[in-house]
Amino acid sequence: MKNFYYSIPTEIFFGKGQIKVLGDQIKKYGTKVLLTYGGGSIKRIGLYDEVVNILKDNGIEFRELGGIDPNPKIDSVREGIKIIRENDIDFILAVGGGSVIDCSKAIAAGYYYQGDPWDFLIRKANVENALPLGTILTIAATGSEMDRIAVISNPETRQKLSFGHISMAPKFSILDPTYTFSLPKNQTAAGVADIMSHTFENYFTLNDGAYLQDRFAEGILKTCIKYGKIAFEEPDNYEARANIMWASSWAINGLLSYGKDVKWSVHAMEHELSAFYDITHGVGLAILTPVWMEYVLDDERVDKFVEYGVNVWDIDRNKDKYEIARLAIDKTRDFFKSIGIPMSLREVGIKEEDLEKMAKACTDNSGGNKIGNFKLLGYEDVLSIYRKAY
């Protein structure tokens, strides 16, 4: 196991009714709030009114930035920074999913920077500080509620990039599983696929001796498989929603990658799909994952797939190694299908003629280097994976 520094600073208030802490939590950090949200789901489920009433009851002044899109755009970040500067705001409350939270993190960091916030994404500037931020999560997926990362899109340059800094980690997150009951089935499924993909990115590494981290990862994967299906079929099953929500936070907050040499690859490939086509992140991941698994499976990596097949899918350890690996990959694909996710790039509207451009962008965005490290992937590899997924 490699050396590591453990720091997961976000306070979590988990469970039904935890919104009761909201007023006191905000008052620990600020006096004037920017309330951020997406396209209206929080209004439909009554959460917007609940939050506004709490702010008013606590005498907390606020401004709003609504309409943040899925795959949040840099323009919303610019708009948020402007509102904050014009209104002397000192705290951001993000109510929604990864898109709202990521946009809010970028606003929080951008406030302290005099240039254009896109500079952070293209590494022209580094984050030095961020305004304090709290979240109320409404979809279990990205883990943004407990990590320091923001993923922002720029439609003008057709790029979707990420950046992060410890100051961007939420000060607190309220995780009430009942807020996720209203999710449409496709978003529930995409969220589960995203959580599983974060776990895979951390799990599939070679010989790093991080035994404990990998058992945590398998626990998260088993949780997604068991409860993902239940949440998909019974949207208001509290136990299922609660387990998926907690899995979301732990898949990406650092726990699974500490002590390991982790470098993600399927996410790098997916971000080009959503940069070019604005598709749902988790859907892109679910399409690419089994294809990536088949592509990287070889003698050096087969034992890791055996570990996955035996420990996660309970496949008989006495079978041939490659048989176990292939069965595990088939089961992964079947699981995604069983929760209604389309399994080809064609089905989500991607045009074949763009595959080369996306593969080029994918490797360009990693500075021309190969992506991943379980198996290094260059332009030709990425293109092959896109083609096989088509």
Q: Which of 60, 151, 175, 350 binds ligand NZQ (CB under 6 A)?
A: 151
Kindly state whether residue 10 participates in binding ligand NZQ, applying the rule CB under 6 A: no
Residue 41 interacting entry, from Zn ion, ligand NZQ, none, C-beta within 5 to 8 Å by type: ligand NZQ
Q: Give the nearest residue (CB) to Zn ion.
A: 194
Bridge partners, residue 339, by sequence: none
Residue 25 interacting entry, from Zn ion, ligand NZQ, none, C-beta within 5 to 8 Å by type: none
User: Tokens for 158?
Assistant: 């057709």
Residue 167 interacting entry, from ligand NZQ, Zn ion, none, C-beta within 5 to 8 Å by type: none
Kindly state whether residue 194 participates in binding Zn ion, applying the rule CB under 5 A: yes
Residue 151 interacting entry, from ligand NZQ, Zn ion, none, C-beta within 5 to 8 Å by type: ligand NZQ
Residue closer to ligand NZQ (CB basis): 34 or 183: 183
Rounded Cα distance between 265 and 375, Å, is 9
Kindly state whether residue 142 participates in binding ligand NZQ, applying the rule CB under 6 A: yes
Residue list 229-258, contact with ligand NZQ (CB under 6 A): 252
Kindly state whether residue 71 participates in binding ligand NZQ, applying the rule CB under 6 A: yes
Residues in contact with Zn ion, counted by CB under 5 A, come to a total of 1
Residue 138 interacting entry, from ligand NZQ, Zn ion, none, C-beta within 5 to 8 Å by type: ligand NZQ
Stretch that binds ligand NZQ, among 178-186, 232-240, 255-263, 325-333 (CB under 6 A): 178-186
Q: Which of 159, 173, 180, 363 binds ligand NZQ (CB under 6 A)?
A: 180
Binding site for Zn ion (CB under 5 A): 194
Which residues sit at the interface with ligand NZQ, rule CB under 6 A? 38-42, 45, 70-71, 96-100, 102, 138-139, 141-144, 147, 149-151, 179-180, 182-183, 187, 191, 194, 252, 267, 281-282
